[in-house]
Amino acid sequence: MYIIAGLGNPGRQYAFTKHNCGFMALDLLGRRHDIGYPEDGHKGMFGKGRIAGERVVLVKPLTYMNLSGECLQSICAYYKIDVSSELIVIYDDIDLDPGVLRIRKSGSAGGHNGMKNIVRLLGTQDFIRVRIGVGAKPAGWDLADYVLSGFSDEEWPLMQTAFGNAADAVELILKEGPDAAMNKFN
């Protein structure tokens, strides 16, 4: 069984912001496989189904970004998964150009507060992550204001493609493993 988490902030005001890339990519993946989020618990909302023959739980933490680890710690413990091989986290990354993907099997949280919380609460950096580039913050911008802002008209088509690529990457991870996805998308 795999836990696939998309990171973001709950609430309509955050729906299409840079920080909600994980939610948007997860929503697309869920639509492809007819998996919604009918269940509440573990400080999130989640739904179960199958992708590429694998049992999956799609999870959206509802703790707001900076406390995402509370949800993932709870749901990973409940389903007794091997975090290093059965957890996939999708999230935004300001160190990548808009629309660029990076897949890793391990790594630091960088400056991402949601990932810092996940790493701290899970006690490991060893889990699969799909990072979606949103671009660097412009000079003079506050970081929080930037990641909570929307996309420009030029960026939006790139991001829609990126959400599709992120969903494709997760499907490939489930079919052939993270190395195959890294070779294709990195």
Structural domains of the chain, ranges and CATH numbers in brackets: 2-185 (3.40.50.1470)
Cα 81 to Cα 46: distance, rounded to the nearest angstrom: 16
The proportion of the chain whose per-residue pLDDT surpasses 90, expressed as a percent, equals 99
Active-site residue 112, yes or no? no
Which SS3 state, helix, strand or coil, does residue 104 take? strand
Q: Give the pLDDT of residue 99.
A: 96
Q: Give the pLDDT of residue 173.
A: 98
Read off the pLDDT of residues 111-125 as tens digits, 9 standing for 90 and up.
999 999 999 999 999
pTM above 0.75, yes or no: yes
Catalytic residue among 19, 33, 42, 112: 19
Rounded to 5 degrees, φ, ψ at 46 are -155, 160
Beta strands 2-6; 54-61: pairing state: parallel
Read off the pLDDT of residues 11-30 as tens digits, 9 standing for 90 and up.
999 999 999 999 999 999 99
